Amino acid sequence: MRYADIRAYRSEGFIGRYQRLVRDTVIPYQYTVLRDEAEDTEKSHVIANFINAAKALRGEDIGDGFYGMVFQDSDAAKWIEAAAYSLACFPDKELEKQVDELIDIIADAQDADGYLDTYFTIKDRDRRWTDLLEGHELYCAGHMTEAAVAYAEATGKTKLLDVMTRNMEHIYRLFVEEGREGIPGHPEIELALMRLYRYTGNEHALILAKTFIDRRGTDPEWFAKECRRRDWSVWGSDGKDADYQQSGAPVREQTDATGHAVRAVYLYTGMADLIDKDATLAPACERLWDSITKKRMYITGGIGSSCNGEAFTADYDLPPDTAYCETCASIGLMFFASRMLAHDTDRRYSDVMERAFYNTVLAGMQLDGKRFFYVNPLECDPGISGKVSTHRHTVTTRPGWYACACCPPNAARLIMSFGRYAYGEDEDTVYAHMYAGGTVTFVNGCILRCDTSYPHDMDVRFTVEKAGSAKRLAVRIPAWSESSTLTADGRPVTDLRKGYAYIDITDGMSIVLTLDGMPHWNCASPRIPTIAGMAAVTRGPLVYCFEGTDNGGDVAGLTVDTSKDPVVSGHNEELGGCVTIDAAAMRDEDTDELYVRSLRQDPVTARAIPYYTWCNRGETAMRVWMRKR
């Protein structure tokens, strides 16, 4: 299965509003950040780093030199990729000119041998490729390669693609032809190389991706040995924790998702994208998928429970109040899901992809597109969160930007490329993995229109405007929908396989899907000690939370009554018209005594809002998991 043709897709409705927000607000704002022109925002210096790298290559004075994180180049790459998807949906000559100018600056910073990385070009060219653990050279190359392919797809312009092809050939010479040892400290280039291969057919990209994946874990001590070979480092890491680097065993032998969550799912995405070339990777990918989704994933699709290393920990260790759940990690989980779908059309992948998007990914950006979460906890208390050392990372307001600014541009590129994840196709079938209003044109000539107000409304109508060479449409029926109906031209659809309904299509056919729109209680497994005996509300793909703003300022004193069904209570226009839910609850009386023998409980109605909308009305308490009776 391949992605749908992004050049012919523009979302409407809910996703369309987000895409216009990214186009009108996020991309322009982030461009000012890259140029150090944004007010009241931490200096980025991203574009200045490329300009100074070009000066260094010419032997000129580099002035203020390099500024920022070692991976600062990747911010420019992700911005270009987001801009590429925006141009595919909304042609814009001014934006295209800005991208072209930035690409010219990036191209000038490429060394004669194809190397491209401003940190080492400016600071010390002799140290290139000697700190793979921390140096992020391959990580930055991966993101810039993704940007290059996206921009070529969207505009037909190949200058950046040519730059990154030369960069790939440089890396190929070192690590394949010359046999240089090493693997990426931060996986990312693997999935990017597969994308370059699929777009250009360049076999060196495929070989290089497979080389990095096949080498990983064959020597669990490799990073520690690399550290001992040099007398300097970027951050002082010793490389001894092989599991943290996903290199404790060869990838085909790995069983548990370990270490830095973003790095893990980027690696697994590259592995999954190779399955059609090497089927021996499939069992490991399936084990790792199950490890994440059955034992190490939050109800919101968040992953990485610990702030120590932004990492996976142990099975069922999913504390809500100290959850890390980096926005980038859920984006990476969506990448992994999409590539597993290409291997096996099964709703267990698309259900998780949808869960991660509508909850953690969207929660990572404020509704006005101007502020962003790096961390996405499931519980916050303004008196504790962001203040005490154990909760320092769980801030109660979204910052505008970060020194480590991976999440904002990552969210932008994901939202603008939503169609790549919502739709897919193979030789004779088109797939609807997620639902969004708009019209999509497939490579096989099928033109499919979707009309829906999802996720707030549960009716989805597809119209086959033209079948092309497609013979079937496969529509996901999500596992969360306890009652669903699907008809094609008024007739029930009965061909169901792995959660997908298969429909023989003809021009003009109308397919109507109606999903369960009732709110539901969800209980936590008793194996999760921090939330055992608690309950959370969901409706459709949306996880809900209780904010102090709607509940008298306090949510810790609430106990929900799960013997009574929660009910839809209306829409909140302040939060974009989202559906609100009311639940019967009891509130503990307030007391200034630290401990008392008993507390009076009064019946109240507790109101819940979609988790992605929390923290948009000022600082307040929030909980997803509630005490239940």
Give the lowest-confidence range in 134-138, 242-246, 267-271, 408-412: 408-412
Q: Stretch 19-23: mean pLDDT, rounded?
A: 95
Q: What's residue 583's pLDDT?
A: 98
Tokens for 439, please give them: 């019209």
Percent of the chain with pLDDT over 90: 90
pLDDT beyond 90 at 564:
yes
82, 412 contact by CB (below 8 A): yes
For residue 584, pLDDT over 90 is answered with: yes
* Structure confidence at residue 430 (pLDDT): 96
**Mean predicted confidence (pLDDT) in 395-421:** 80
The average pLDDT across 43-68 equals 93
pLDDT at 574 (0 to 100): 96
- The CA-based diameter of the chain, rounded to the nearest angstrom, is 76
- Taking the CB of residue 123, how many other CB atoms lie within 10 A of it? 16
Active site residues: 310, 406
CB 468 within 8 A of CB 447: yes
* pLDDT tens readout for residues 74-113: 999 999 999 999 999 999 999 999 999 999 999 999 999 9
- Phi, psi torsion values for 622, nearest 5 degrees: -150, 140
Q: What angle do helix axes 347-356 and 282-295 make, rounded to 10 degrees? A: 50
Tokens standing for 421? 């994840």
Task: State whether residue 187 is helix, strand or coil.
Answer: coil
Homologous superfamily in CATH for domain 422-514 = Golgi alpha-mannosidase II (2.60.40.1180)
pLDDT at 8: 55
Which pTM does this prediction carry?
A: 0.96
Helix extents (H) in 296-384: 327-343, 347-356, 362-363
Mean pLDDT of 217-237: 96
Q: How far apart are CA 151 and CA 504, in angstroms?
A: 35
The residue count of the chain comes to 629
Task: Report the pLDDT value the prediction gives residue 403, as an integer from 0 to 100.
Answer: 56
Give me the DSSP letters along 430-492: EEESS--SEEEE-TTS-EEEEEE-TTTS-EEEEEEEE-TT--EEEEE--TT-SS-EEEETTEE
- Determine whether 248 is exposed, middle or buried from the number of CB atoms within 10 Å of its CB (0-12, 13-18, 19+): middle
End-to-end CA distance of the chain: 46
pLDDT, residue 186, reads 97
Give the residue-averaged pLDDT of 595-603.
Answer: 94
Q: What is the pLDDT of residues 306-335, one digit of tens each?
A: 999 899 999 999 999 999 999 999 999 999
Query: How far, rounded to the nearest angstrom, does the alpha carbon of residue 568 sit from its chain's CA centroid?
Result: 29
Q: pLDDT tens across 431-475, in order? A: 999 999 999 999 999 999 999 999 999 999 999 999 999 999 999
Contacts of 77 (CB under 8 A, 6+ apart): 140, 143, 144, 146, 147
Please report the pLDDT score of residue 362 as a whole number.
Answer: 96
More confident residue, 495 or 396: 495
Cα separation of 41 and 400, whole Å? 7
pLDDT band, very low/low/confident/very high, at 397 (cuts 50, 70, 90): confident
pLDDT at residue 189 above 70?
yes
CA separation (Å) from 43 to 65, 72, 140, 224, 374?
Answer: 14, 11, 19, 33, 18
CB atoms within 10 A of CB 357: 26
What pLDDT sits at residue 3?
62
> What is the mean predicted confidence (pLDDT) over 532-537?
97
Given a cut of 80, is residue 72 above it in pLDDT? yes
> What is the distance between the alpha carbons of residues 566 and 506, in angstroms, rounded to a whole number?
41
- Domain chopping of the chain, boundaries: 259-416, 422-514, 520-628
pLDDT bracket for residue 129 (50, 70, 90): very high
Mean pLDDT value across residues 155-174: 98
Residue 270 token pair: 């590259």
pLDDT on residue 402: 57
**Mean pLDDT rounded to a whole number for the chain:** 94
How high is the pLDDT of residue 5? 58
Q: Given this model, what pLDDT does residue 267 score?
A: 98
Instruction: Please give the distance of CA 625 from its chain centroid, rounded to a whole number.
Output: 23
- How far, in Å, CA of 468 to CA of 43, rounded? 50
Peptide linkage before 455 cis (omega within 30 of 0): yes
Pairing of strands 472-476, 429-432: parallel
Q: In this predicted model, what pLDDT tens digit does every residue of 345-383 receive, in sequence order?
A: 999 999 999 999 999 999 999 999 888 887 999 999 998
On the question of pLDDT at 236 being above 60, the answer is yes
Alpha-carbon gap, residue 16 to 611, rounded angstroms: 20
CA 536 to chain centre: 23
